[in-house]
Amino acid sequence: MRERFYVKLSKSDFSLEKVQFLGHIVSAQGVHVDPKKIEAVRTWKTPENIKELQQFLGFANYYNRFVLQYAKITAPLTNLLKKNTPYKWGPQHQEAVEQLKQALTSAPVLILSEPECDYVIEADASDQAVGAVLMQDQGNGLQPIAYLSKKLHGAELNYPIHDKEALAIIIAFKTWRCYLEGRKTTVYTDHCSLKYWKTQPSLSRRQVRWIDFLETHFHYDIVYKPGHKNKADALSRPAHVAAIQWDNDMSYRKGSTKIWVPNYPPLRQLLLEEYHDVLYAGHFGSNKTLTGISKHYYWPHMANDVQKFVTSCTTCQRMKCSKQKKAGLLQPLLVPEQPWQVVSLDFITGLPTTTSGHDTILVVIDKFSKKDTSS
């Protein structure tokens, strides 16, 4: 009564063994999917258009933390939602729906987090996806609290494997920050070099940002664990076979007529020379050389290999002149002799709009006194 917090008895339940809450059943054992939702999944009809597929995936995504390898299972379905992709339902899509239904109807019980216990994360990455498992040992061995699985997109697909493994850890900490902040966490990874991540002599800007994020907010240790012992290893595996090898020693990427070139340096070197060094190739630049090769061939990081090959070509270096403007000489900055002789201007944009309709601040700094003024 002192805090004026009132409870209506007709809407209250006390001393329950379990309770239904937002599509979940919460009990002392943990959290599991509401049986009514499981029945809805069982009877869900096959999506016949993009709208119905979006509805099905929207429902399933709500329970993704219960599903091991969620990104892997749904990959064929999410590919149908890409821009300019025709909606053509095939056996692989039906199989994905059935697998997802099976995974949801047999979803495990996720234990409730115990704040006094330390956390354990097992993270892993592959070429196409990252995965992680959040666990705790509450006296009965390590048990899952949540699963995480994410497909890689855009520039993430071009990360080196070291950065992909690190990205899996970063995504796990960002996703489960509400659990992990302020608690001791042990991270298991099958990438041995991540143990010495923080002590490496040189780091990229991306790696520095990641380390700064972890060091600022979390207390953690990274421990090496071989992949065959890592639960998250399966979560990061790609959804389908990406290439097929036949007995005639030719490899083809799935869904493409390009020839997959294996990781055999003499063969790749031969192709680079064929499209750049020979007389009819014309010693083109890296962009035209890459365009010519990519019409018929493919291998990972091909653009980087072409760039390195072209820039190291002695003929090009000797015969081609630079088209870039020559760098000028460095000039000393003017030292002001009195206030407001030299000022610096900059804008801070993207701020919340004020009642008068303004969302930008103009900052002016006097280089002599370092005094700033804003408007």
pLDDT-wise least confident of 96-105, 178-187, 284-293: 96-105
User: How many of the other CB atoms lie within 10 Å of CB of 125?
Assistant: 30
Tell me: the pLDDT tens digits for 75-84?
888 888 888 8
pLDDT-wise least confident of 63-77, 224-238, 305-319, 324-338: 224-238
**What confidence score (pLDDT) does residue 234 get?**
45
Topology adopted by domain 119-236:
Nucleotidyltransferase; domain 5 (3.30.420)
For the beta sheet containing 259-260, the strands, ordered from the edge strand earlier in sequence to the opposite edge, are 243-245, 251-253, 259-260, 297-298
Tell me: the pLDDT tens digits for 36-45?
777 787 788 8
- pTM here is 0.49
CATH number at 243-319: 1.10.340.70
User: Helices (H) and strands (E) in the chain — how many of each?
Assistant: 11, 15
Mean pLDDT, rounded, for 146-162: 86
pLDDT at 174 exceeding the cut of 90:
yes
Tell me: the pLDDT tens digits for 227-244?
555 555 544 444 444 444
User: How many of the other CB atoms lie within 10 Å of CB of 368?
Assistant: 15
The residue extents of the domains of the chain are: 9-105, 119-236, 243-319, 343-374
Cα dihedral 167, 168, 169, 172, rounded to 10, equals: 120
- How large a percentage of the chain has pLDDT more than 90? 9
User: What mean pLDDT value characterizes the chain?
Assistant: 81
Residue closest to 179 by CA, chosen among 109, 111, 103: 111
Q: Which residue has the higher pLDDT, 240 or 49?
A: 49
The helix (H) or strand (E) run that includes residue 297 is strand 297-298
